[in-house]
Structure 1
Amino acid sequence: MTIDRDAIAFTVKLESDGNKGTLKMESMMSSATLTLYTGENVVLKTVEYAGNNAVTEDLTGCRHDGGVLMPQQKTCTEGLKYKVCSAEGNLEDGDCSGQGGVCRIDPSSKVTQCMQARRCALVGPMVVDFTGAKGRVPDLCSYTLLTTPSFSFKAELRDRLRTDVGFLHRLNLTLTDQEETTVYTIGPGLQVQKDDSPVELGAQAEDGAPSFALNGASWMLIKVPFKGDSVLAAYDGNAVVSFSAFEEAEATSSPFEGLCKDVSKVEEERDDENSPESCEEVQEQPEDESIDCPARTKLCDDLLSEDVVSGCSGLSNYRSAFKDACVELQCKYPEDNLCSFIGGLSNLCDAQTGGASQESARCAGHGCGSALCRDSEFCQASRCRCRAHVLKAFNDRDTVCEEQKASVSVPLCLLTEKSLDEEDLHLNEDGDTCKGTLDEATESLVFSFDHEAKCGTEVKVGEDRIEYHNQVQFDSSSGSGVVSRKSSFSLGFSCFYSQPALKTISFKTKGAEGLQAAIKGSWPYEVKVGMFSDKQLTKPIDFSKGVRRNKMIYISMETDGLDGALLLMKADDCYATDQEGTGGLKHPLISGGCGNSQDSTIKVFPAKNNKGTVMRIKMFQFKGKKNVFLKCKMKLCVASSPGCQPDCDSADSGNRKRRRSVETHMIDEDDAGYFVLRL
């Protein structure tokens, strides 16, 4: 062909023989550039001409798929395979399986070549590393999954339906350069934060910064720039993260470290600095005998079939590791996690092909995507459920009984599972003071009652305790309308005062009072016993000098920690004896809360503020005996109940007129429940 441009002419001659071709160019110009294009307007070759000499160029090449390959040029066709044009212009088949792994265009050089594929995944507690080996994270700590000199991915694990099986809770990406460190937190609900500030998904990333984009409703794709290429992480915001990276086929060492490189180094890769305290101390649970392991094994085998990785050559060993990990987890854990394994393996395939797998029909609706749960919850099939340790703490709960107040906590996650609102629950009485109070730190509702806000508290009197009982409740049959989609709820809780069970008090011989804690029950209180020479209880007796016979003394038996308006402590039965143990002589002092009507020197009256009993007695001595012991049995009673405060004056009025000499007789009863004073 001859081209005349501005009266300056040059001639181009093309000759071809099969796949071979030759171009000759002559021109009167001192220099010229000729660019040849294919039919698809793709540059085939650029020819530079200088001087008056003719230029000859070799245009040998190969036609493929509507385009042209020059000699030694490759193009990827399927996974590990490629087409290459030989020096003679012949199109030949190639395979990367023996040259590193996959056929891929190197983003830095733009050259198609065989590259080493690095693949890794964390599914629940199971890890499949670069070599296809599987392992298990044994606890609920933080672990380094993948790290390089410029970035690292770390996983935080939490419990779900079992306290001894951890699942991915949060993914932390840290970028490090010479000037600063940047931390990205990717948490439940596919929420991303950069140094505690929200990150917009899909936004254009700055140079050198990672990008975050949604892939459908259930997956997030994270691209981290690395050596002119990118490391790709796929995260479902719930339980699975998979990593894909590529290196030159000739690379002799890898820049990657972490569990993805070697899953056997679990101890070395635990991140103690960022792990919760005692996270390695797992609360083991018994095996779940309801799990049909053979049936679940067959499911793992059937669903993790070759179809999942069809078109992804080189993933067969990963599929086998995924299947083994699936069986190990499915035979231990009650929740069906098959879709997590399918999703994790599919994403490794997608990273290789650049495509997007279709969601398995079985897994439709199983993802959580942007579903956001509380810290005490986890997501399962777009529903928020209580974590195992929260339910265990609730089932092992104790009512908090302190300062005459009873409290119990109900986890908010339990309300979510039962489709209840915070306002639905109340105590026996439904009022503002009988509703729960939100405790944000523990993510729970706290219900309580005391002597002022009783909220319908019931009092039950038993032989060994007085119990105050209430319950957190919701009746699904209440309210307007004829239908209800909420569950009924009833949680009883109580606090009690134990009846005193004192055995012996060693009375202080120098000092004002003897003090002994009387209670082992839920609400603590104390009994104070003192001896005084005056009714006002202001003059303690000094026993170091002894006490004369016929001296009137006042014995105070009071309580500290009881509300006198509700409960009274009374001396129910007291007597004097000549022996510290059982047996011996006995002289009755108090019976049924009243003084011995046959001994006019004995008087019983309430202590100040109704906090106990004061007994007046004139000192005496058993004939022929050296020691006198006072034994008393105390009793709690409800102040408003009949008989709690006996009318001793009325009972004594007739008896004292017929006063007779005091009789002493042998003891023939057990002393259990009495306290003993040596006089």
Structure 2
Amino acid sequence: MTIMFCFLLYLPAFGLLTGSAAMYQAFTSSGEMNISSCPITYFGQKYEKVYVSLDANKFAFCFNSLYSPGIQNDCILMSGGAADRGDLTVLTRKIPPGSGVHQLLPHLKHAGSCVNVIPLKNSQDDEVEQVELGNFGAQAILAIKTYSGYTHTEVEADSQVNSQTVSKLKFQISETNTGVIADVSGCRLSGVVYKTNTTTYDQDTCSAIICDVYGVARVVSDCGPMEHCQGDGSCAARNVCTVAGSTVIDINGKVHTVPDRCGYTLLSPGSIPGLKVYGVFQERRRKDVSFLNNVVLRLDGAGVKVSLEQGGRVKLNGDVLKLNATAQVFSGVELSKDKTGVTAKISTSNGMVFVFFDGDKALIQLSGTVQGLCGGSSKSFSGEKVAEYSSAGCEVPHDDTANSTINCDTQAKWCNLLKQAPFTACHNLISPEPFVTACTNTLCKYPAVDDLKCKLLETYTMVCSKQGNVKVEDWRTKTSCYAQNSCQDKFCSDHEFCGQKFYGGEPRCFCRAIFASKYRSESSYGEPTACEHSSAAVTLANCLLEEEGIDYSALHLNDQTCKGEMKDETHMVTFKFDSSRTCGTVVKANDSKIIYKNTIMTQNNSIVGHIYRHDRVHIDFSCFYNQPDIKSLAIKLKQSSVDQQITSGAWIYNLTMKAYTDPLLLGTIESSTNIQMNERIWVVLKTEGLDENVVQFVTESCWATNQPSPSGNLRYDLIIKGCPNPADDTVTIENNGRGPYNVFSFKTFQFTGLTGDVYLHCKVQLCVMQGGNCVPKCSQAGRWRRSIMSSYEDENPALITMAWTY
């Protein structure tokens, strides 16, 4: 490269710019000068420091560090002289009109420039030479003026980039005594320097590198976006593979029909080592026809996985990315998204792979070798199946009843429109035959819903446009295929797909056929009722509800404030209640069962006047539990307490008994407690773990024996059928049947003629609330009745035994 130069015709006091000094720095022998107030762009690289070193043979002005032979640096090396010191002054002002700078760089503006002035002096402080580095944005100039102290007959200026000479100029003293300037502007791209206002062509990349007059470089490729350079200056079309519905049209134009709902290798390592592209297929409205569901790109060596999914969602190693029409690079993959779909591009020195996916079809373009289904692999589909992307049972065939509304001849006639105008504009570029075959195969098996007929024609026009930049004019008008509402940014769950209920309708999520079949066969909307102790939940599929025109948000339980909650990920709607929020649940009981019942129904406010816009819904669901068994527990009086866990069917609870010496229940009876005859004691029986809104605790009976066995020969009754023994006025009972605990008291006694332990036994039972309460109704005769339907007199009670001695 040759640097342009000219003599400075008008340089008052030689300064390229005039004005007061903005900065002043001095140095001896060498120095690091701060030029941040007037940075220099030297052949495309901006610098804010200049390193000056002086000796008798060479003056060096470098920008990375002080000059040292053998070290890469950007420098201007000039012939030396008697100077051994100098200083730096930065001036800023307008360029004088008509100056030599304008003759050298006529495109410069008159304002906004600065210059670094570096006078070089000898030890007697006489000026030997002055060097100026002028800043003009992306451009820069070098100006030189010598004085009488300069002893050589010429001045040499060697401009270097990365220690390699870019230009070497020699000026005679007669020139430099007046002053000269040279352009040190240029462009730098990938380490290569280019001259301003030049164009350099690279046959290896089929690209022109343009370095404009302002020192800004750009690369312009001769090849289109779907072409690749063959290394000799010529461009060739890339290989194209198309996946639409359940068909793969490989680079040779051969049509393959995907037989199931598994994941397959579309592209395996070829020109880009480690790159694999997979296609994952799933059913939609029919169980026996699959559609491309998502595309996965993997760079195994780099551990990168990019998933192009339904609705235009893109994930990188599992994380959702936010994309727009401006291409962004993530882990070596260039990604963008617009209203038509998502684009992924991977470029290396070996080749390029381009993938476009819009939720229905994928276009894969690539250079170099091709393997996998897109390469017309000789392997069978089973050979290309990928376990990682194939769900269990995905290969199991399903046979649906043939759709009687499909006329295959009519559909074939439709698909053959691709052989006619206006599609003929693409025939010289892409044969329509494989696309006609793919279209016919699909429409002969699958109903023409979700704008499928038009999407199959659109596949051909898309390939034509992206491959050869050919636009098929007015094809939508001539086929009445008007643009429909897009499924972009409509996210459905794994068991759903995006479609249209009717032509031109808003897109929504429909149930996949296999998922829905198990519910449709049972005429249900979702899973069976999940019952737990005192709670129940019903989970419905929103896509099944929408099939019937039911808006889940308009549904509620008996209590209208209890509505369904839908999970964003699964779109399953759950209605539930428990003991803390009963939601109007009705609890009933019979001799053996406890029944919890609620209803999912339509919200009343969905009815306006004499009309309503939702079908009336009435879904009853119930949970059945066995009545809780009555258990027994024994305790000696002088123990502080007994605690026993009891399991009775679905019921698990703790039953405890404690004895006290005072009514405030502060003095617990221990083994060392001295109990006197005719002394009143208080006994507390308590349950934990039961829902007291449904089940109450009742002490049915208590009695004393002189033996540990509750059926001992000697027996004295304290509580009979929930009431104090009317023959013993010392017995009291509180809170019986009112909650999870009760308290009774009595005065101690001994059996006549006997000494030693006296044992107290109690039967306790659980009472299910139903339309009344569980409080025993005591009469003077000591009888009682319950205001509930269930009966438990004959069931095995819980037995508690206490003993005391005197």
TM range (shorter): 0.5 to 0.7
Distance in 1, Cα, partners of 2:313 & 2:580:
46
From the superposition, tell whether residues 412 and 317 of structure 1 become closer, same or farther in structure 2 (CA, over 3 Å).
closer
Deviation digits for residues 488-543 of structure 1, max 9, x if unmatched? 3445556777531256669899883242334534xx55140436476867888999
Pick closer, same or farther for the CA change 1:435–1:349 going to 2, 3 Å: closer
Residue 530 of structure 1, aligned match among 640, 657, 662: 657
Which of 509, 513, 525 aligns to 2:642? It is 513
Q: Which residue of 2 aligns with 1:645?
A: 775
Q: Is the 8 A contact 1:105 1:111 kept in 2?
A: no
1:37-436 correspondence runs (5 A): 108=230, 119=241, 121=243, 123=245, 132-136=255-259, 138=261, 144-148=265-269, 149=272, 151-155=275-279, 168-173=292-297, 185-190=307-312, 197-201=321-325, 233=355, 235-238=357-360, 240-243=361-364, 254-257=369-372, 261=377, 264=380, 270=386, 272=388, 280-282=391-393, 291-293=400-402, 295=404, 299=408, 302-303=411-412, 307=416, 310=419, 339=453, 342=456, 346=460, 350=464, 358=475, 368-370=486-488, 372-375=490-493, 377-381=496-500, 382-386=507-511, 395-399=526-530, 424-430=554-560, 434-435=562-563
Displacement of 1:475 in angstroms is 3.9
Q: Distance in 2 between matches of 1:591 and 1:127?
A: 84
Q: Report the residue type matching 2:266 in the other structure.
A: L
CA–CA distance in structure 2, aligned partners of residues 283 and 616 of structure 1: 70
Q: Which has the higher contact order (CA 8 A, sep 6+)?
A: 1
How far off its partner does 1:645 sit? Answer: 0.7
**1:216-244 deviation per Cα after TM superposition (whole angstroms, max 9, x unaligned):** x8666767668898656453324x33545
Q: Distance in 1 between matches of 2:453 and 2:438?
A: 16
Structure 1's 651 and 365: CA in aligned 2 closer, same or farther, altered over 3 A? farther
Judging changes above 3 Å, is the alpha-carbon distance between structure 1 residues 285 and 467 closer, same or farther for their aligned structure 2 residues?
farther
Structure with max Cα Rg: 2
Q: Judge conservation of contact 1:461–1:467 (CA < 8 Å) in 2.
A: yes
Q: In percent, how many aligned pairs have the same letter?
A: 20
Q: Distance in 2 between matches of 1:401 and 1:409?
A: 14
The SS at the match of 1:121 is: strand
CA–CA separation in structure 1 for the residues paired with 2:297 and 2:387: 13
Report the TM-score, using the length of structure 1 for normalisation.
0.54
Distance 1:556 1:676 in 2: 14
Q: Is the 1:128–1:322 Cα contact (8 Å) retained in structure 2?
A: no
Shift, 1:384, TM fit: 2.1
Retained in 2: the 8 A contact 1:527–1:557? no
| 1:343 positional shift | 5.5
The separation in 2 between residues aligned to 1:338 and 1:571, in whole angstroms, is 72
Q: Deviations over 1:273-292 (max 9, x none)?
A: xx6xxx7345999967xx42
SS at match of 2:601: strand
Q: 3-state DSSP class of the match of 1:189?
A: helix
CA RMSD in angstroms comes to 6.5
For 2:248 and 2:632, locate their aligned partners in 1 and report how far apart those are by CA, in whole Å. Answer: 63
C-alpha contact 1:164 1:284 (8 A) present in aligned 2: no
Residue deviations 1:43-93 (CA, integer Å, cap 9, x gap): xxxxxxxxxxxxxxxxxxxxxxxxxxxxxxxxxxxxxxxxxxxxxxxxxxx
Shift of 1:569: 1.9
Q: Is the aligned partner of 1:594 residue 2:720?
A: no
CA distance in 2, matches of 1:268, 1:580: 76
Residues 1:185 and 1:507: Cα distance change in structure 2 (over 3 Å): same
Residue number in structure 2 paired with 1:73? none
**Structure 2 stretches of 5 or more lacking a match?**
1-225, 420-426, 501-506, 752-758, 785-791
Q: Give the partner amino acid of 1:528.
A: L
Compute the TM-score of the two structures, normalised by the length of structure 2. Answer: 0.47
Residue 635 (structure 1) aligned with residue 759 (structure 2): no
Q: Aligned-pair distance for 1:424?
A: 3.5
Q: CA deviation at 1:554?
A: 7.5
Q: Distance in 2 between matches of 1:441 and 1:556?
A: 51
- Give the C-alpha shift of residue 651 in structure 1: 4.8
Corresponding residue pairs, total = 527
SS of the aligned residue for 2:416 comes to helix
Provide the rounded CA distance (Å) in 2 between the counterparts of 1:394 and 1:270.
33
